[in-house]
Amino acid sequence: MNAMPKFQFAEQRALAPVAVLKPKRVVHPRSSRFADPCFRVGMAGCSVSLLVIVGLILLELLTHSQMSVHRFGWQFFVGTNWNPVSGEFGALPFIYGTLVSSLLALVIAVPLALGSALFITELCPKQLRSTVSFLLELLAAIPSVIYGLWGIFVLAPLLRQYAEPWLADHFGWTGLFDGPPFGIGMLAAGIILAIMIIPIIGSIAREVVLAVPSSQREGVLALGATRWETVRLAILRNARTGILGGVILGLGRALGETIAVTMVIGNTPQISSSLLAPGYSLASVIANEFSEATGDLYLSALFEIGLALFLITLIVNALARLLVWSVTRGMPARANV
């Protein structure tokens, strides 16, 4: 399944330690009878710890959110009032903020990521290919606090001075761009998130596109198709499930992103139809209020938000994984490495 073309080299390299390890004495089967199971159990322990960690996360979130779950029930997720002083906790503004900023990010990121993936696989000259891929990877390596810093001091002023007044003038009639331009707000959060998830969607799209058998491409080209028609008919049609998986994976990342969003979304618990208005997200409210949460109910409510976030990202990621697997599993070589 992992038939890489470079295998001969790997073999030469890997064989060296074997030669060094010429066993001079006979290995007693008894010692391995004991050591092998031990080794196996030890390694299994490391692996099972993953399961334990996920279990512990779920357990901690469940036990600590009990109080809030009992007190508010489902009302928690439809209530719009978040007032720690009067002990009222409704999470709808945060859910709204998380969803809108993530969807906005997808709207911006998907075409750009897909475009860059196609650029790398179809158009880019061979010599430049690895450089462009490297730049895309680099975008993924920038920490979110730096995106946040850039968002506050570079992006937000630009939006406030140029982009947002322009949007309000030309597209104000849609109702999406009402109100004063703050710079900081839902739009800024969406743009920052988009830049952050482009490398995720882009690298998966690139892998999936490369996994399309070249016979498909050649077949369509042989019929006299243009480049774009080849991309549309041979590549996108074959790769769409995998690309969708990548998009959902990006969505999962955007939903859970904390620091960068907290720095630019404005941190105001309100539901506004305007993208220029400040908002709040699930992850941000935890980041901002967790350490100053006074009272058990307040803390419990924040844990319940954490639980909601955990479950949402769990479902989204599981879905994405299944989609990506279903595509790459049956494909020859290239995928996934």
Partner 1 sequence: MKREKGISLGRKLRNHMAMGAVIISALLVIASLITILAYLAVRGAGSLNWAFFTHLPRPIGESGSGMANAIAGSGMILLIASAIGMPVGIGSGVFLAEYGRNRFGNFLRFTADVLNGVPSIVIGITAYSLVVVTQKHFSALAGGLALAIIMVPTISRSTEEMLLMVPHSVREAALGLGIPRWRTTVSVLLPAATSGIVTGLMLGFARVAGETAPLLFTALGNQFWNWKPGHPTAALPLQIYTYALSPFDEWHRMAWAGALVLILLIVGTVAVVRLVTARSVYRVTV
Binding flag, residue 133, partner 1 (CB under 8 A) = yes
From 80-88, 195-203, 213-221, 268-276, give the range in contact with partner 1 by CB under 8 A: 195-203
From 70-78, 83-91, 167-175, 315-323, give the range in contact with partner 1 by CB under 8 A: 315-323
Q: How far apart are the first and last CA of the chain?
A: 12
Q: Report the nearest approach of partner 1 to the CB of residue 282 (Å).
A: 9
Site string for partner 1, 25-64 (x = CB under 8 A): -xx---xx--xx-xxx-xxxxxxxxxx-xx-xx--xx--x
186 by DSSP, 3-state: which? helix
From 77-85, 166-174, 176-184, 245-253, give the range in contact with partner 1 by CB under 8 A: 245-253
Binding flag, residue 144, partner 1 (CB under 8 A) = yes
β-strand pairing of 82-83 with 88-89 = antiparallel
Of 15 and 107, the one with the shorter C-beta distance to partner 1 is 15
Cα distance between residue 197 and residue 39, in whole Å: 39
**279 neighbors 189 (Cβ within 8 angstroms):** yes
83 by DSSP, 3-state: which? strand
Of 168 and 309, the one with the shorter C-beta distance to partner 1 is 309
- Return the residue of 67, 149, 221, 297 that touches partner 1, per CB under 8 A: 149
**243 neighbors 114 (Cβ within 8 angstroms):** yes
Site string for partner 1, 3-22 (x = CB under 8 A): -x-xx-xxx-xxx-xx--x-
H helices present in 142-236, as ranges? 144-150, 156-158, 164-171, 186-211, 214-222, 227-230
Q: Report the nearest approach of partner 1 to the CB of residue 208 (Å).
A: 12
- Return the residue of 67, 92, 152, 176 that touches partner 1, per CB under 8 A: 152
Cα distance between residue 203 and residue 210, in whole Å: 11
Of 33 and 70, the one with the shorter C-beta distance to partner 1 is 33
Cα distance between residue 259 and residue 148, in whole Å: 7
Rounded to 5 degrees, what angle do the CA atoms 93, 290, 278 make? Answer: 35
Q: Report the nearest approach of partner 1 to the CB of residue 5 (Å).
A: 11
Of 64 and 71, the one with the shorter C-beta distance to partner 1 is 64
- Return the residue of 90, 148, 185, 269 that touches partner 1, per CB under 8 A: 148
Q: Report the nearest approach of partner 1 to the CB of residue 273 (Å).
A: 26
What region does 71 belong to: left with phi over 0, alpha with psi -120 to 50, or beta? alpha
Taking the alpha carbons of 163, 169, 172, 173 in that order, is the dihedral positive or negative? negative
Residues 247-276 that bind partner 1 (CB under 8 A): 249, 252-253, 255-259, 263
Sequence-distant (≥ 6) Cβ neighbours of residue 198 within 8 angstroms: 109, 112, 113, 116, 136, 139
Q: Report the nearest approach of partner 1 to the CB of residue 324 (Å).
A: 9
Of 61 and 276, the one with the shorter C-beta distance to partner 1 is 61
Cα distance between residue 319 and residue 231, in whole Å: 26
Site string for partner 1, 197-216 (x = CB under 8 A): -x---x----x--x------
Binding flag, residue 292, partner 1 (CB under 8 A) = no
Q: Report the nearest approach of partner 1 to the CB of residue 176 (Å).
A: 22
How many residues bind to partner 1 according to rule CB under 8 A?
114
Cα distance between residue 275 and residue 297, in whole Å: 32
